[in-house]
Homo-oligomer: A and B are copies of this chain.
Amino acid sequence: MKITEAERDSFYKVLFSRRDVRREFLPTPISDDVLNRILLAAHHAPSVGFMQPWDFIVVSSEETKKSIKQGFQEANQQSAEMFESDRKEKYQTLKLEGIEEAPIGICLTCDRSRTGDVVLGRTIKPEMDLYSAVCAAQNLWLAARSENIGVGWVSILHDKVLRKSLNIPNNLEIIGYFCLGYVETFQETPDLERHGWQSRREVNNFIHFEKWQK
């Protein structure tokens, strides 16, 4: 199946306008149809040995969000202490999640035993199943953007908080917790760039030919 130039350009429009959203969520509900399309896109990620190791736990209850938010606040306080002076102050001014504002939360997990102990493609690199689940995360993120839905990946959160709040068994690895919602606007630049935390680097610095070079 051939992708036309116009289709390619539409694809790139989605890809380059994706943002990590924390502040701009609207309460507008996400319909089941839209949510199902996004999850189907995630499910069509590549996976090692075609093991499809992911699960998606969809959260909409206020009570559950509240307990996850509390877990974030504790982890965020702990994290702030790791930065030094100016950086710590700056850190504390940043809004890093929209757990309660986003109508939907999705927790993504990886079941490393889904197709048995020996998995084609994981024989040499055991982390490949986790990486497959991360590919599902990126598919989810981009698919949401194509539906004009913002996504924020909340990583400042101890696994045990999600395990307890969502009843996740110990044999599943937790990949991430994602906030989803329609947004007031998609920012033109990443939050951390706009707020002077870290700037976009020049891609050419990271491209090497034939051999890695300093």
Instruction: Report yes or no: B157 in contact with A212, Cβ–Cβ below 8 A.
Output: no
Q: Among residues 96 to 146 in chain A, which have CB atoms less than 8 Å away from a CB atom of chain B?
A: 96, 109, 115, 118, 120-125, 127-128, 130-131, 134-135, 137-139, 141-143, 145-146
Contact of A1 among B6, B17, B43, B197 (CB under 8 A): B17
Q: Measured between alpha carbons, how far is A60 from B153 in the docked complex, in Å?
A: 36
Residue of B nearest to A128 (CB): B155
Residue of B nearest to A37 (CB): B12
A181 at the interface (CB under 8 A from B): no
A26 at the interface (CB under 8 A from B): no
In angstroms, how far is the closest chain B Cβ from the Cβ of A181? 15
Instruction: Report yes or no: B56 in contact with A121, Cβ–Cβ below 8 A.
Output: no
The tally of residues in A whose CB lies under 8 Å from a CB in B reads 102
Instruction: Report yes or no: B212 in contact with A155, Cβ–Cβ below 8 A.
Output: no
23 A-B residue contacts at CB 8 Å? Answer: A1-B13, A3-B10, A12-B143, A15-B41, A15-B142, A16-B44, A18-B46, A49-B197, A50-B190, A50-B199, A52-B206, A57-B208, A58-B210, A60-B209, A75-B123, A75-B124, A82-B123, A120-B192, A120-B197, A124-B158, A125-B157, A131-B137, A138-B139
Q: Measured between alpha carbons, how far is A192 from B153 in the docked complex, in Å?
A: 31
A156 at the interface (CB under 8 A from B): yes
A211 at the interface (CB under 8 A from B): yes
Instruction: Report yes or no: B203 in contact with A131, Cβ–Cβ below 8 A.
Output: no
